[in-house]
DNA sequence: GAGTGGTCTAGACCACCAA
DNA sequence: TGGTGGTCTAGACCACTCC
């Protein structure tokens, strides 16, 4: 355990032991550095780490306070389907179900900040784990990012091709739930109406929409994060 | 923009422009520090930030490499229901539906690492936004953490009482989807079988299980994160 | 063993913002 | 406008791990 980690644990202990109450101002960086016998930079590292985690709130002049609602932030690993499947000791499979240039539906065009009447590649793919259906991917992909002989998405997952070939910029991820349509249920081997965990990702590069993808997972799937 | 942030952006630009390919080793900290004309600590800050974000992978002796699957990690704010409701300009309401000491169900006891035949407080609460049902909370709470005159959970949300009064330690969050039971549907004003977004949190303090809570949100709810 | 990143120091200047 | 956190430097030693 390094010095700044040890200090961070001690600061956390004081907060959890309620030596420092939520909302209270704690001593300044310099005072704490002297108390713990370290350089200010080391104390800064510990304090900044707790501020990043949402445990402390820091402002110049105002000082450092204990957050009123601690542990408000967490990290999670964005699921990468192939790695997830292979981590479970299974083989990842793909089945490209549909690929065509089609007008982007209005709601998706709006969320991608696209003008009306855009045509994107519409791709539907079934992902398998050891031949068991795991997830249905419904993607709208800008034709402007594809090279002239387009890649064969029956062999390479669109996602993996993108991360390897298109410089991504900004993006967002949403998590929600949806009832399985009849088509989804048939593909995933479940019943229509079953609750599916849905991930929606959008990405832009250089202000240009690249892709919108909706991943609907078979029942039982869950995202797990430690605090 | 500070120096280390400027450097981070330039490093990101090189990665996205494919000057540095995924998997490739990039120059060492010291070499880059010289190139950018900054101290090694400043360069370290930029490189460490990208490694935290999952863009770079760093190992002693082996050097720094561009990650094969960039942007694999993201942060999100753990939803705090009352704040979320109030951020939407609405009033957060509570209705305590059930409170009793009951044996913990086997599956939850197992996940909380509890011995068999434990009795916890079982609390069911309906959360409202401007009197519209928003979320059903089903919680198992260790009786050991409550003071003798127990708090009135009809007035204070259990969650808010906990973060204010119990030193929390480790925990986990899961996201999944579930079909609404008849009881849930009635409470949330939807139909049985509707797909609900479900958050499950568990917390321990000092190796002792504190609580297991399952939050089932009304249809339409989503968690949103920027990348 | 040797090269790389990880940490730490003592000091300095700066940016922000509450008083 | 002064106090606080944010950043930066030049240098040092250490810890890990690949060779």
- What is the pLDDT, as a whole number, of residue A105? 94
Dihedrals phi, psi of B178, to nearest 5 degrees: -150, 150
How is B34-98 classified by DSSP, letter by letter?
HHHTS-HHHHHHHHHHHHHTTSEEEETTTEEEE-SS-S-EEEEEPP-HHHHHHHTT--EEEEEEE
CB atoms A175 and B83 under 8 Å: no
Higher pLDDT, A216 or B164: A216
Q: Please give the distance of CA B55 from its chain centroid, rounded to a whole number.
A: 22
Is A42 near strand C, with its CB below 7 A from some atom of it? yes
* CA pair distance A163, B72, nearest whole angstrom: 11
- What is the pLDDT, as a whole number, of residue B167? 64
For the cut 70, the answer to whether the pLDDT of residue A32 exceeds it is yes
For chain A, what is the radius of gyration of the CA atoms? 24
Secondary structure of B129-159 as H, E, C letters: ECCEEEEEEEEEECHHHCCCCCCCCCCCCHH
Q: Per-residue pLDDT tens for B101-146?
A: 999 999 999 999 998 889 999 999 999 999 899 999 999 999 988 8
Structure tokens belonging to residue A121: 């590649």
Nucleotide nearest to B33 (CA to C1'): D9
- Which residues lie below 8 Å from residue B139, measured CB to CB, with a gap of 6+? B121, B122, B123, B124, B125, B158, B211, B212, B213, B214
- What is the pLDDT, as a whole number, of residue A156? 80
Please name the residues between 117 and 146 in chain A that touch chain B, using a CB distance below 8 Å.
Answer: none
Lookup result for tokens 């030193």 = B167
* CA pair distance B140, B101, nearest whole angstrom: 9
Structure tokens belonging to residue A202: 């959008």
Please name the residues between 57 and 96 in chain A that touch chain B, using a CB distance below 8 Å.
Answer: 69-78, 80, 83
- What is the pLDDT, as a whole number, of residue B217? 96
Q: Per-residue pLDDT tens for A97-107?
A: 999 999 999 99
- What is the pLDDT, as a whole number, of residue B205? 83
Q: Which residues of chain B have pLDDT under 50?
A: none
Which H or E run includes A49? helix A40-52
For the cut 70, the answer to whether the pLDDT of residue A146 exceeds it is yes
* CA pair distance B182, B191, nearest whole angstrom: 8
Which amino acid residue lies closest to nucleotide D3, measuring CA to C1'? A61
* CA pair distance A41, A177, nearest whole angstrom: 45
Which H or E run includes A3? helix A3-16
**Nearest alpha-carbon partner for B164 in A69, A24, A10, A14:** A69
- Which residues lie below 8 Å from residue B198, measured CB to CB, with a gap of 6+? A177, B175, B176, B177, B178, B214, B215, B216, B217
Among A84, A195, A211, the residue to mutate for chain B (most B Cβ within 10 A): A195
Q: Which of residues 172-201 of B touch strand C (CB under 7 A)?
A: none
pTM, whole model, 2 decimals?
0.88
CB atoms A69 and B77 under 8 Å: no
For the cut 90, the answer to whether the pLDDT of residue A207 exceeds it is no
For the cut 80, the answer to whether the pLDDT of residue A164 exceeds it is no
Mean per-residue pLDDT, A116-126: 92
Q: Which of residues 40-59 of B touch strand C (CB under 7 A)?
A: 40-41, 44, 47-48, 51, 58-59
User: Scanning every residue of chain A, which has its alpha carbon at the shortest distance from the alpha carbon of B178?
Assistant: A195
Give yes or no for a contact between B159 and B135, defined as CB atoms under 8 angstroms apart.
no
* CA pair distance B55, B37, nearest whole angstrom: 23
Query: Confidence band (pLDDT; 50, 70, 90) for A168?
Result: low
Q: What percent of chain A has pLDDT over 70?
A: 98
CB atoms A16 and B167 under 8 Å: yes
Closest CB to A173 among B74, B83, B167: B74
Q: In whole angstroms, how far apart are CA B87 and each of B81, B90, B92?
A: 10, 7, 10
- What is the pLDDT, as a whole number, of residue B168? 67
Q: How long is the CA B201 to C1' C16 vector, in angstroms?
A: 38
């Amino acid at each position: 355990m390094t010095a700044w980690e040890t200090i961070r644990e001690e600061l956390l202990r004081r907060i959890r032991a309620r030596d420092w109450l939520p909302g209270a101002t704690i001593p300044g960086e310099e005072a704490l550095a002297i108390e713990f016998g370290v350089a200010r930079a080391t104390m800064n590292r510990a304090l900044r780490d707790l501020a990043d985690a949402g445990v402390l709130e820091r402002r110049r002049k105002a000082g450092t306070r204990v957050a009123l609602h601690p542990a408000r932030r967490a990290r999670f690993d964005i699921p990468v389907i192939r790695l997830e499947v292979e981590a479970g000791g299974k083989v990842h499979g793909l089945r490209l179900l549909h690929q065509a240039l089609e007008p982007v539906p209005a709601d998706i065009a709006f969320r991608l900040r696209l003008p009306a009447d855009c045509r994107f590649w519409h791709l539907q793919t079934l992902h398998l784990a050891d031949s068991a259906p795991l997830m249905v991917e419904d993607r709208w992909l800008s034709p402007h990012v594809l090279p002239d002989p387009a890649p064969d998405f029956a062999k390479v997952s669109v996602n993996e091709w993108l991360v390897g070939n298109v410089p991504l910029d900004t993006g967002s991820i949403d998590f929600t739930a949806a009832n399985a349509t009849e088509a989804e249920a048939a593909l995933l081997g479940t019943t229509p109406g079953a609750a599916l965990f849905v991930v929606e990702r959008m990405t832009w590069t250089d202000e240009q929409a690249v892709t919108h993808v909706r991943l609907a997972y078979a029942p039982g799937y869950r995202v797990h994060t430690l605090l």
